[in-house]
Each structure stands twice: as C-alpha cells, then as structure tokens.
Amino acid sequence: MFRDTSMDYLTKEERSEILKKNQQLTDEEFLAMDDTEFRARVRERGHHTLEIQVYHAAYRNKKLNPDQADYAKRLLRLWEQKGLSKDLPEYRYVSFLIDSADKLARGEAVDLTPYKPVPVTKEMEDNFFTIVKERRSVREFKDIDVPDEVIDKVLEAGLWAAHGCNIQSIRYVVVREKNEPGLFKGADVPGGPVHLVILQDMRCYRANSFTPLRNRLLDAGAAGQNIVLAAHAAGLEGVWLTFPNEEFCERLRKKFNLPDYIRLVTYVDVGYGDQTPHPPLRLDVKDAILGRF
Ligand SMILES: Cc1cc2nc3c(=O)[nH]c(=O)nc-3n(C[C@H](O)[C@H](O)[C@H](O)COP(=O)(O)O)c2cc1C
C-alpha cells in the first residue's frame, strides 16, 4: 500500500531515517527508481541545490562554489543512463541551471534578460482583474462540445501554477459526461459537460518527504485556481466541485484504473456556460486584513 508520508505524521526517528536515506541514495537505487519519482527528484534537487543559489548569485554578482552543481550533474548523468529523453523539461531546465552555476563559479556573468516577462501594460492589468472578478461559478451549460484544444489549454494553465519545491505532482483525468453518463452522480449539482479531475501522483513527494500535508493539498489548490481562471479566460465557464464521499472517489478510481499512488484531490466542471449569476459579493479587503504592521 502506498504510504502518504509527510512531515505531519512522521515520527522524529522516521524523519531522520528518511533524510539519511535520501542523502545516501546510490547510483543503483537511482537507476532502479521509477521514472516519475526520479524526474521529481531532479526537479526538487534542481530547485533546492541550484535554482535559488544561481539567481541569488547572478543578481548580486557573487561567485558560486565550483562544486555547487555536482549533485545535479550526477543526476543528469544518471538521467542519460536511464535513457530518458533530453527534451524533457526538467532535463532542459536543470541543464540551464548547471551551465549558469558553472559560469558563476568561473566569475562570469549570467544573462537573465532573455527571460524578462513581457511588460504588463495597463490594459493587461485591467484584463487580468476583470478575469479574476468576473469568473463565476456557473452550474448550467449549453449543449455545445468543448474542443480538446481548449481543454488542454486550460489544463496547461493548471500545470503552470506555483508548486511547492517544483515537485510537479499534478495529473488529470478528463471525462466528457456524454461518454460516461452518470459517473459523477452524487455531487450536489448535475455538473458540466466536461469533468476535469485533478489528481496528484504521490510518488513525486518521495523527492521531499518533508513536504507538509498542507503544501501537498495547496499544490492541487493552486492548480485548481489557475484552471477556473483559465477556463473563464478561454471562453468557458464552470464550477469547482467537491467529491461528496469516498465511495464516489472509489468509483472514479476503479473506472480509470488508478493505482493507489494517484490521489484524487478535487474536480472542476466546465463547458459553455448558460447562466449569469449575480457575483457573490466579497468582503471588503479592509475587513479581511486582520493586521498591518
Ligand atoms: C474547494 C471548493 C469546493 C467547492 N465545492 C462546490 C460544490 O461542491 N458545489 C458547488 O455548487 N460549488 C462548489 N464550489 C464553488 C463555490 O460555491 C463558489 O466558488 C463560491 O460560492 C463563490 O462563488 P463564485 O465562484 O461564483 O465567485 C466550490 C469551490 C471551491 C473552491
């Protein structure tokens, strides 16, 4: 049975055991590891051993230690031995970080200007806040098919959400109600024509067993929020829904043949909306700020 370990329920002894084990992983263990866990470890080590250090040193014109990238270099050597594609995003990104760390170790500058975001114009700012405020939970839909490309664009926005330690655990199942009528019966509303189920591959968190349970769930929440905003931006409407009980989740798990390391976290229904609810008005921001020091 897959164990959902996190700092929240590990004993002190278990924690130090995991930490020791992580630091002493042998090449053989890395080579035997499933690709999902290995790739998550590359992302996590890239983040913790290089990302923060490289950007800090580049910004402050500081030198890095020549051995700063050694662990990441070892992981990329193992990556090649495992036969993973060099086109995968973590290989490309960690290669960039290694290259930058080596430059900084030699006292050379790292040019980050190509990565400068497009300047946000007043119009873009206004559009953003319009999307945020005019996104509504819509629970009635027109009988119009949503193209796969639109769904993929929305789900991609979920993958671009912030994610603790860049572990990237988010996965999806997309279900069109017309293909699986009644599968989502039991929720408090009939739901939309397309169900976007947000899952997490919990094997990714072996890369950092100390990720608090709270952060693991927030990783999925951040994806969910990007998804509802992106859906509205892409001309869809929808509603974030709640799995009503464990039987509901088990029904989906069985239907999609999901192994136990895949966690069903939440789901969002989308389609072309046929309802324009009055916005449920929000607290005044002054009332929400409990302190300002
Ligand atoms: C985690 C979460 C779970 C939700 N579950 C449900 C649900 O089970 N049924 C439902 O009709 N709406 C659900 N909603 C939508 C909320 O009711 C809705 O966001 C809230 O009333 C504010 O309305 P708005 O989204 O139009 O601004 C959920 C929203 C979130 C974030």
What's the CATH code of the domain at 140? 3.40.109.10
**Cα of 176 from ligand 1 centre, angstroms:** 20
Section 92-114 average pLDDT = 97
Is ligand 1 within 6 A of the CB of residue 136? Answer: yes
Is the same domain home to 259 and 158? yes
Reported as a single tens digit per residue, the pLDDT across 184-233 is 999 998 888 999 999 999 999 999 888 888 999 999 999 999 999 999 99
Hey, is 208 helix, strand or coil? Answer: helix
Reported as a single tens digit per residue, the pLDDT across 122-135 is 999 999 999 999 99
Reported as a single tens digit per residue, the pLDDT across 229-274 is 999 999 999 999 999 999 999 999 999 999 999 999 999 999 999 9
Is the same domain home to 67 and 172? no
Question: Is residue 286 included in any domain, yes or no?
Answer: no
pLDDT of residue 6: 61
Confirm if 52 and 96 have CB atoms less than 8 A apart.
Answer: no
Spatial strand order in the sheet of 194-201: 170-176, 194-201, 262-271, 237-241
pLDDT of residue 90: 97
Using CA atoms of 200, 203, 205, 208 in order, give the dihedral in degrees to the nearest 10.
-170
Question: Is residue 211 included in any domain, yes or no?
Answer: yes
The tally of domains found in the chain comes to: 2
Atom of ligand 1 nearest to the CA of 136: 26
Is the same domain home to 73 and 145? no
Give the domain extent around 79.
33-105
Cβ burial of 216 (10 Å; 0-12, 13-18, 19+) is buried
**Most informative mutation of 240, 264, 265, 267 for ligand 1 (most atoms within 8 A of CB):** 240
Is the same domain home to 156 and 76? no
Is the same domain home to 187 and 88? no
